[in-house]
Amino acid sequence: LAKTTQPISMDSYEGQEVNITCSHNNIATNDYITWYQQFPSQGPRFIIQGYKTKVTNEVASLFIPADRKSSTLSLPRVSLSDTAVYYCPFGNTGKLIFGQGTTLQVKP
């Protein structure tokens, strides 16, 4: 059964770089890895997507090793507004498989 595993929570301070790692059990060859951010009582928001190696956009970087069994979301210089839950679902036959997510708490 395909699933993702992440740390339940992480703490950081404003201005620091945060790396959140996720393991992707049974990810298929054609599946893409995505990361989403969710604030309380809101729908998740897409952050970044990748297949392998490194992807960077204006918000974050995504590192995927060659075996693709894990991925790391890197948030540079976090602020208080980055406090949220982060999910790393991967695509599986047209569906996204969500795990429980990582609650990131950014402190001043």
Partner 1 sequence: DGGITQSPKYLFRKEGQNVTLSCEQNLNHDAMYWYRQDPGQGLRLIYYSQIVNDFQKGDIAEGYSVSREKKESFPLTVTSAQKNPTAFYLCASSISSGVYEQYFGPGTRLTVT
Per-residue mark of binding to partner 1, 66-95 (x: CB under 8 A): ---------------------x-xxx--xx
Per-residue mark of binding to partner 1, 31-70 (x: CB under 8 A): -x-x------xxxxxx--x---------------------
Judged by beta carbon, residue 43 or residue 108, the one nearer partner 1 is 43
Per-residue mark of binding to partner 1, 2-31 (x: CB under 8 A): ------------------------------
Q: What is the DSSP string of 13-54?
A: ETT--EEEEEEEET--TTPPEEEEEE-TTS--EEEEEESSEE
11-21 CB burial, b ≥16 within 10 A, e <16: ebeeeeebebb
Question: Does 98 help bind partner 1 (rule: CB under 8 A)?
Answer: yes
Task: Name the minimum Å distance from CB 98 to partner 1.
Answer: 4
